[in-house]
Every structure is written in C-alpha cells, then in structure tokens.
Amino acid sequence: MADAASLHAPPPAGATGVLVLADGHVAWGKGFGAEGSAVGEVCFNTAMTGYEEVMTDPSYAGQIVTFTFPHIGNVGVNEEDVESHVDGAVGCVVREDLTAPSNFRSTGTFGEWMAAKGKIGLSGVDTRALTRRIRLSGAPNAVIAHSKDGKFDIPALLKQAREWPGLEGMDLAKVVSRTAREEWNGGPWTLGQGYAQADGAKKPHVVALDFGAKDNIFRNLVKAGAHVTVVPGNTSLDEVMALSPAGVFLSNGPGDPAATGEYAVPVIQGLLERDVPVFGICLGHQMLGLAAGAKTTKMHQGHRGANHPVKRLEDGVVEITSMNHGFAIDNTALPDNVEETHVSLFDGSNCGIAIKGKKAFGVQYHPEASPGPQDSFYLFQKFVENLS
C-alpha cells in the first residue's frame, strides 16, 4: 500500500491497475478482467476456495473483494458454479498473478470470465497489508481501475471514492432482486450428473422473497422436501398470501437491512401475525429481526469467508460456517420476543434468532454454502418440518 504522497507520483513500471482508497492510500498492480473503473466498499474474504461463487453472490453488490488466499484462478471457471446471474461484486483484489486453470471441470479462465462479466480485477497487491488496514480502520470506500496503457487520473479516482455515499442506508436488494415470479425446479448437484430436477411430487409450498438470493439456497430447500416459488423482494403481503404458502423464505442480499426493510419489514410482520412459518438467511435474517423489534448495526469490518465458527446455544455444538455480511442484529438489546440461538465465536456477534411463540427463525450465516460441509443443512430440514 502506498501512502498519500504517492497520489501525484507516476505509477510503477508495468502497472495497469490501481486501487484508490477514500483515505488517500493507493495500491498499484496489474489489472485484469474488464477495463474501466468501479466504486465500492473494500472488504476481505478468507475462504481458500470458491472465488467464482463469491464473485457471483449478489450479497457482494457494491463491494470490492480482497481475497486473502493468494492463489486465485487455479481451478478456472464453469457455469455450474455461478450462484446468480445478476450483479455481484464489482471487482476483486488478489496477491499473485492469476494462475492457469488446473481442473477437469474448468471451461474457461478467471480473467476472461471477469472481462465478460464486466468486473475489474487487480493482482500484485499486498493483500495482507490491505486486510490489516480494513481490520484496523474498517471497510473503506474505494475505486478499482484497470487500463492496459497504465494511465490513470488518480485525483479524479480519489474524488469518486470520497463522494460515494457507502453502503449504510443503501437499498441494493432492489437492484439484484428478480423482477418476475419464478417456479424453481433445480435440485442438488452431483459430480458427473450436474443439477437434479424437481420430481414434481406434491410437496409443501415455500414462497421465497428474493432480496439477492444465491441459487443454491433454493436447491437446498428442494433437497429438504419443498416446492419453491421465487418472487421479487418487493412483493406485497397480499400477493404472497395469494400463492397459499405453507411457509415463506427470506433470502440473503446486499446493502443496509434497514433500507430494504422499509418495504420488506411490514410484509414480514404480516406473515408473523398470520403465524406463517418463516426462515431467513443473512439479510433475510436481519429483516426478520427488524420485524420483531430488534435493531441492526453496521459492523466494523464484517464477516466474510468459509471458515467462521458459530456456537449453537441450545446444545453448545459448533458449526463451521460460511459468512458474508457487513451488518448484524444488535444482540445487546434484543426484545423479549426474540431468542438468540447462535453466536459467532470470533466476536460474539449474533448469528441466529428465533421468534418466541412462532415458527420463525433465521441465521446470519450461509448453510447452503456447505463449508462444514454439512454442518448446517439441518436448518433447511427444520424449516420444512415446520410447514406441516
């Protein structure tokens, strides 16, 4: 990481990419993927695998992902590992130059894929230093830029980073949500066979509110025994109830839960009043908390990675989880009707709640990401059991 004095200095020889933080710090490197510039919040992800899933997770909308694992691109890319076809992360920062794919499932390179998706990458950065900066000072706003000729207007990029309002108060769910109803038919994946199809048998009907969902969530709901209809995140209570749901799922998504909650929380409150079973993940979990009277707060650095230990309070079992969130339910002042069910063993932050007297619960982490790998599948089973 260069210091503020480097703002007006020429780029190092061979530099074709740059990350300009709002505090004036600059990181030079080699650009890859799409050319141009993009603004967002810089975060870090500690997972050692799954970079394609990370970059296609809608929860990363408006963010630039720093990968702490140095070797990115080594398994290439393929269409089966895409989590969503809407915008996810705007760019990424990596330590080493992209390595060539070495995997029989690969159908292309990560750099070519990034370019096709319009995402900007930057390699050759001291990602340890950048991660330490985020841990000490919080997730900063920044601009990532790539130009093959190595020419950048650094003061203009700094101005763009400083003028971006940040994620707090921003409703990004409306940007990444589906715009039309969809009957979900996909099932779990198996090697050599791909994704299974729903068998068409009569099963409990789950209506899923899409705030920026990962597709594997719906596959796990099917695996657990549900029939799933996915609807836009701004679907009204009357429209949801017209589908005669046995239960309602609240998906993950990006941005500030309080902003998205302006239209989603009244719907969730209506579901709770009608005793409809509810299950929320990540943003959906946070908005379930808001609907029950809890508060959410912006975290200093957030939790992102596939190696987060979470303690289940009812029996002390520790689940190894995948996380991606920069906001959390404030567990220092939970209302009487909200029971805390899970906590992070990293910092004690809330990772799960249940609404007392209701078949409604949520978790902050991502059980569908299978980091345990099956530590948390029971949550999908629990939800489907609640539907009977």
Which residue numbers are catalytic? 282, 366, 368
Token pair, residue 129, equals 């230093």
Q: How far is it, in rounded angstroms, from Cα 149 to Cα 9?
A: 16
Token pair, residue 7, equals 């703002």
Query: How many other C-beta atoms are found inside a 10 Å radius of the C-beta of residue 191?
Result: 6
Q: How far is it, in rounded angstroms, from Cα 366 to Cα 16?
A: 35
Calculate helix-pair angle for 257-273, 283-291, nearest 10 degrees: 60
* Closest to 370 in 3D by CA, of 212, 253, 216, 230: 216
141-146/17-21 β-pairing: antiparallel
Residue type, 206: V
* Residue with the two structure tokens 């990006």: 254
Token pair, residue 96, equals 């080493």
